[in-house]
Structure 1
Amino acid sequence: MQNEEVGMATVYRVLTQFEESGMINKLNFDNGQSVFELSNVEHHDHLVCVKCGKIDEFSDEVIEQHQHDVAEKYGYQLTDHCLYLYGLCKNCQ
């Protein structure tokens, strides 16, 4: 299969199949950008640059605990969440 090109439609079809099977998750950001991540990675949140589209992943236990506290305060049992923080990365400031 060397030097064989794969069409974009094939790539998107396979990604959709992986998503439907639960192998990957599709993340849609407010800037119109979408990315795919493996489903079996530890939970993390995202910083998204509104200028260049750079995405950084981060984990913060204080933020995680605060989200659970807020949910409990309002009578919710938190089952899942996603946090996207939008701003300008170091290179775009």
Structure 2
Amino acid sequence: METRIQSIKKALQDAKYKLTPQREVTVRVLLENEEEHLTAENIFMMVKDKYPDIGLATVYRTLELLSELRIVEKIHFGDNVSRYDLYKEGSAHFHHHLVCTNCGFVEEIEEYLLREVEEKIRKEYQFEITDNKLIFNGICRRCRTDIEGKDD
């Protein structure tokens, strides 16, 4: 975790920002919950446990800054709630998600699936893609098993 903190600190410094105590505790909460897709309110409640004097506006500003610097990605799964997800260190692209429309379970796809599509767009449209993200909506295996079990 400390290596990631130092990497994020450097990214902030390169952009002429400091890793303030408020920003650091927010980053630590994101790192500690990297497998989750937390809302700003979720993050705020966890940060508040560690840094009681912090305000919700400070957490929002920190998340927006981290998003602008491409340290975190603000994502939407079609439920009108913004969630925050850390970019994987050293990754050229954001990862993709499978979202169960039945139970809300979210699974990440680390494999990069769009090379051929990006190459076609680059050639046919002379468009240089800098990033992309896919969200596949459907029914997860647990819900499918439950649904199929009820059909019997």
Give the TM-score, by structure 1 length: 0.69
Give, as a single letter, the amino acid of the residue that structure 2 aligns with 1:38: L
2:72 equivalent to 1:24: yes
Question: 2: distance between equivalents of 1:12 and 1:86?
Answer: 31
8 Å contact kept, 1:33–1:53:
no
Q: Deviations over 1:7-58 (max 9, x none)?
A: 9xx4575144233244432211123343211235433111111111111111
Give the CA RMSD over aligned residues.
2.8
State the partner residue of 1:67.
117
Residue ranges of structure 1 left out of the alignment (5+ in a row): 1-5
After TM superposition, list the pairs within 5 Å mapping 1:27-38 onto structure 2. 27-38=75-86
Paired residue secondary structure (2:136): strand
Indicate the percent of aligned positions where both proteins have the same amino acid.
Answer: 25
- Where structure 2 has 5 or more consecutive residues not aligned to the other structure, the ranges are 1-47, 145-152
Bigger-Rg structure (1/2)? 2
Query: Which has more strand, going by share of residues?
Result: 1
Greater share of helix residues, 1 or 2? 2
User: How many pairs are equivalent?
Assistant: 87
